Amino acid sequence: MSSSSSTHPLPAVPLRQDASLIGLVGLAHMISHFSQLLLAPLFPWLKDALNASYAELGFLMTIFFVTSCAVQTASGFVVDRLGPRPVLFAGLGLLGLAAFGFAASTGYWMMAFFAIVAGIGNGVFHPVDYTLLNRKVSAPRLGHAYSVHGITGSLGWALAPAMMVPIALAFSWRAALASAGVLAFAVLAVLWFNRERLSLPAVPKPAAGAVHANGEDPLAFLRIPAVWMCFGFFFFYAMSLSVVQAFAPEAARQLHGVPLTLVAVCLTIYMVCAAGGMVLGGFLASDPARCERIVGIGFGLAAGIALLLAFAQLPAVAVPVLFGAMGFSAGIAGPSRDLLVKKSTPENATGRVYGVVYSGLDIGQAISPLIFGLLMDQGHFQGVLIGLAVVQGVLIASAFNVRRVRRTAMPAAGSVA
């Protein structure tokens, strides 16, 4: 069998070939994360335009992530059957269509419909991206590929408010959303002109007979315990990220008297420093054997900083610095985090595994605001930061539990593969 060659190209792959693929995948991933924060920066405008409450506007985000979760799980099977390229193009097209739909919306429920369209488009990216990276990037460069993938995602989050708010201020919220649609279709055009670099056989031949021979075979990977442990890891990872994005800067403002002008800076600094941490994490992930330790160190440092923000008496100017340190620490763990899934994925099931595992991200981002939003409404600002540290501590335990389960279940995993 040629399973190893189907998983990785030969070691002599030119750097330019790997770099171009990584860049194209990263560009698409940036648009995915950009779309996740498409509406939130415009809530002050949308509240008046749609005559909606903040709770109703927040529900648009819930619709988006619930839809994305369902699609992400299903799209992994489609990626394994049809190949990642057509699924990627469809996802980008739907995100562009949704942005123009948001811009043209005349009421709340029209906006909700296009939130579903955007969720469908967003749901394809992780199965697509990791199938392309795992099967086309040479093994020695895979850690760097994960690093770039994470960095472009963080840049997408940072780009959304930086682009949408100035356009809304200068023109209107409709112009801002329309410009987002133009950006999505521009990226789709770039990928279309480089489509040959994204080509991949739909299903490796050794697995083709098995997929059709028995209806249970496409779901056999679900019997691997490490897959579900990875799902749990990403669920808690999404919860921690959601707290940082939505509540932690405001909680820190309430505790330490941070001026409003610095609150938004906290999130920007966190994301920028997280991207820097991912660069270092890409080098550290060159040895897959230590990925659990790197995850433990990164999130251990991040949890310590969260507790410092919760309990220490800090000057206001120190708060953005600590957010940057927390982002850098979490960013270091990023590439090793993705290697946890890679090491738990059987041959020829990449799309399906990543679809299920990364659906934990969407579920975590849908549930976390309900829990931590309640703490914020009740004025438990210290509890928000303590909760963030607890979730980051759970991530450390989850990472080592993935390794334990993977080792104890090695014979079963081998039989499924």
The pLDDT score that the predictor gives to residue 280 is 86
Look-up of token digits 């540290």: 389
Give the confidence band of 24 by pLDDT, cuts at 50, 70, 90: very high
Domains detected in the chain: 14-198 (1.20.1250.20), 214-417 (1.20.1250.20)
Q: How confident is the model at residue 415 (pLDDT cuts 50, 70, 90)?
A: very low
* Mean pLDDT for the chain overall: 81
Residue 312: half-sphere exposure toward Cβ, Cα within 13 Å: 12
| CA 235 centroid distance within chain | 11
For residue range 112-145, what is the model confidence (pLDDT) as tens digits? 999 999 999 998 888 888 888 888 888 777 778 8
Q: What is the pLDDT of residues 194-253, one digit of tens each?
A: 988 888 754 444 444 444 444 445 666 666 666 777 788 888 988 898 888 778 888 898
- pLDDT given for residue 191 in this prediction: 94
Q: Given a cut of 70, is residue 408 above it in pLDDT?
A: no
> Which pLDDT band holds residue 147 (cuts at 50, 70, 90)?
confident
Quick: pLDDT tens for 372-404. 878 887 888 999 999 999 999 988 887 777 666
Segment 275-331, tens digit of pLDDT: 889 888 878 877 767 778 888 899 999 999 999 999 999 999 999 999 999 999 998
Q: Exposed, middle or buried: residue 211 (CB in 10 Å: 0-12, 13-18, 19+)?
A: middle
Average pLDDT over every residue of 159-179? 90
State mean pLDDT over 14-39: 88
* Of 109 and 342, more confident: 109
Averaged pLDDT for residues 10-29: 80
Residues 186 and 203: their CA atoms lie apart, in Å, by 29
Contacts of 398 (CB under 8 A, 6+ apart): 229, 232, 233, 236
What mean pLDDT comes out for the span 39-46? 83
HEC string of 250-312? HHHHHHHCCCHHHHHHHHHHHHHHHHHHHHHHHHHCCCHHHHHHHHHHHHHHHHHHHHHHHHC
Mean pLDDT for the stretch of residues 30-35: 92
